[in-house]
Amino acid sequence: MADKQNKQPKQQPSMNDQMRVRREKMQALRDEGIDPFGHRFDRTHTAADLQEQFGAFDKDELNDKHAEVVIAGRMMSKRGKGKVGFADIHDRTGKAQIYVRKDVVGEDNYKIFKKADLGDILGIAGDVIKTDMGELTVRANHVTFLTKALRPCLTSITV
């Protein structure tokens, strides 16, 4: 019974701790020669464009089409582990899912994706596919780091 009383709930990192870690990550980007506040980046499609142009196609049709796109947006969720990851990128028109594989984008480029925080803005070049679950997805050939979010992302801010 004494053990239960002595256990304290885990402390969540404070806003200042999170901001400090993000600033350290910003410096690490600079140290690797990556500008944490980006450069000009031209996209070919928005999230809405993807749905409009490719939403009606099924998985096999999209595989045959080999539709190359370039999108950009704020990373609002990230999942996966190991050598594969998915993320939701939001722009001013909506959400697009991205799929990033280490063996496709390369180790250095995959490292950019893995180290990116929620709220960071990324540019993605790749082809449009549908997952087994039927979700329209951009399979990344290249990830470009555009802007570092220095504050934790609490709301849906779009680019």
Measured distance CA(156)–CA(27) in Å, rounded: 25
Q: Give the residue-averaged pLDDT of 128-143.
A: 94
Quick one: pLDDT at residue 159?
A: 46
Total-model pTM: 0.78
Q: What tens digit of pLDDT does each residue of 91-128 get?
A: 999 999 999 999 999 998 998 899 899 999 999 999 99
Cα 27–Cα 30–Cα 34 angle in degrees, nearest 5: 135
Domain positions in the chain are 10-147
Fold of 10-147: OB fold (Dihydrolipoamide Acetyltransferase, E2P) (2.40.50)
What's 57's DSSP letter? Answer: S
Read off the pLDDT of residues 30-74 as tens digits, 9 standing for 90 and up: 888 877 777 788 999 999 999 999 999 999 988 888 899 999 999
